[in-house]
Amino acid sequence: MRIAISDDALALACGADAVAEAIAKAAPDAEIMRVSSWGMSWLEPLVEVDGIGYGPATVSDVAAILDGSSSLNIGKIADYPFIARQQRLTFARAGITQPLDLEDYQATGGWLGLAQAREIGPDAIIETVTGSGLRGRGGAGFPAGIKWKTVAGADGPQKYIVCNADEGDSGTFADRMLMEGDPYCLIEGMAIAGLAVGADKGFIYARSEYPHAIAKLNAAILVSAHIVAPFEIEVRVGAGAYVCGEETSLLESLEGKRGEVRAKPPLPALEGLFGMPTVVNNVLTLAAVPYILANGAKAYADYGMGRSRGTMPIQLAGNIKHGGLFETAFGITLGELVNDIGCGTESGRPVKAVQVGGPLGAYHPASDFHLPFDYEAFTAADGLIGHGGIVVFDESVDMLSQARFAMEFCAVESCGKCTPCRLGSVRGMEVLDRIKAGGRATADPIESLPQMHNAPKQGRSVDEELSLVTDLCETMKFGSLCALGGFTPYPVMSAIKHWPEDFGKAADMVKDKS
């Protein structure tokens, strides 16, 4: 009997270790393996017995699971709809292999991409990655091949590969799952990138909130060092500042400085880490590379739509019945992801809003469910797909509070370097607080000063406050140095645009007061 239980951080948090210990006592002759997670969060701890899944399992379920009578039986995991419908390229080993077992990795196609890369050489590697259409999976969506070509052509005595593993978007966990479940895939991708651009040193910048991922990475780097040599990799741990997910802040932190945004130009590709040409790519970007090299550019580019080629590991979270990781080709609609894959809200209430792209992503109403998951389609709808995080809210959510949260998040996480972000977010909170309170009845003392020619000398109505926050968002969007301040207007303005009634309640309050 072969029994597999995930040692992913989510499974551990849900009691996987206790279940594994209970199984070991009850079935001492069974082959018990600790594998990566399938990504079906609502079923963890998921116990697999000869291919059949049982979850979410507790210690009290062990006896019934072992004799096959458990009501937790979901059938063959590989055939379960949530898994069977996916197109897994980056997460092809999820739930199947033991994360640190080199034989498992090699037996499932590991190192084939690196071998191919060594055979064809730097120019052909870059041509292959460019031809695949791979774009940065961290949020910006910049073509990876073009970035690699820029670094390869830059002059410098030393070049670096930096993996951005500072996964901080709300509702995202794909980077963590990959690092915990398939660390050799990331190492192989970084080694290929190093070979392509002429770098022999790489850094993985991971956040301190991911201790399991950091431990797995360090162990995997040690075990595989002889395979990727002369390329060397080092894990550096950040302190969890959201802004360090921005590439130039990350580089500052990596150099031992305060995480603060750099003005661009120069681009990191030309003057990056320690002033040297540097490739900065997200975990998922680099982890997609081994498949591309092993199977060819066309095999990857055949998936997707338009300029969004390949697959995207999409993370379903929030108030959703079936949350987890769903990797599929670009083009699936938002409605399919929320209703068909995620099965609607966990509360059973109607979906009111879906935030796509992390805390700086826009809120989308159900009328946007026709949108295909695609960089350009979401941009045209005043949104972004970011790192592929989807957070669902039911009808009980107050969108004014969500808009204020976006401003508060920006204020707390701002590095403080640029005024639109540092001060704009604080002023944004104040304006939204006034909207919630029904507007300002009396004039502001500062605005009343004679030298304040462009400020009103009386109170402001809610409509005037909304106009003010709109102007403020415009300034933040186009005046901020990085995406933190530049994208904070997306959740704020989308909430105002799609749910004016949540802001209109405040207007009613004004009428009542008057």
What is the mean pLDDT, run by run of 10 residues, along the chain of 514 residues?
A: 96 98 96 97 98 97 96 97 98 98 98 98 98 92 96 97 94 97 98 98 96 98 98 95 94 95 94 98 97 98 96 98 98 98 98 96 97 95 94 98 97 94 96 92 86 85 92 96 94 96 65 41
Structure tokens at 311: 């697959």
User: Which two three-digit tokens encode residue 35?
Assistant: 């594998």
The label of the residue with tokens 């969506």 reads 141
Q: How many residues does the chain have?
A: 514
pLDDT at residue 510 in the model: 41
pLDDT of 139: 79
For residue 444, what pLDDT is reported? 84
Q: What is the pLDDT of residue 506?
A: 47
| 31 beta partners | 2
pLDDT at 448: 87
Q: How far apart are CA 332 and CA 339, in angstroms?
A: 12
Whether 382 contacts 341, CB under 8 Å: no
For residue 80, count CB atoms less than 10 angstroms from its CB and return exposed for 0-12, middle for 13-18, buried for 19 or more. Answer: middle
d(CA 264, CA 266): 5
CA atoms of 382 and 405, how far apart (whole Å): 19
Output the pLDDT for position 505: 58
Write the secondary structure of 24-36 as one string of H (helix), E (strand) and C (coil).
HHHCCCCEEEEEC
Query: Which of 380, 383, 374 minimizes the C-alpha distance to 353?
Result: 383
136 close to 142: Cβ distance less than 8 angstroms: yes
Q: Is 333 helix (H, G, I), strand (E, B) or coil?
A: strand
The pLDDT value recorded for residue 138 is 84
Residue 429 vs residues 190, 383, 413, 444, 457: alpha-carbon distances, Å: 41, 21, 14, 16, 21
What's the rounded Cα separation, in Å, for the pair 89 and 291? 7
Give me the torsion for CA of 392, 396, 399, 404, rounded to 10°.
Answer: -90
Q: In 178-219, which ranges are E strands?
A: 201-207
Residue 275 is predicted with a pLDDT of: 97
Query: Which residue is listed with tokens 């961290």?
Result: 138
- Single out the residue of 65, 94, 70 nearest to residue 82, CA to CA: 94
Q: What share of the chain is helix, strand, coil (3-state, %, to 5)?
A: 45, 15, 35
Phi-psi region of 79 (alpha: psi -120 to 50; beta: other; left: phi over 0): alpha
What's the pLDDT at 509?
Answer: 47
What are the backbone angles phi and psi of residue 357, rounded to the nearest 5°?
100, 20
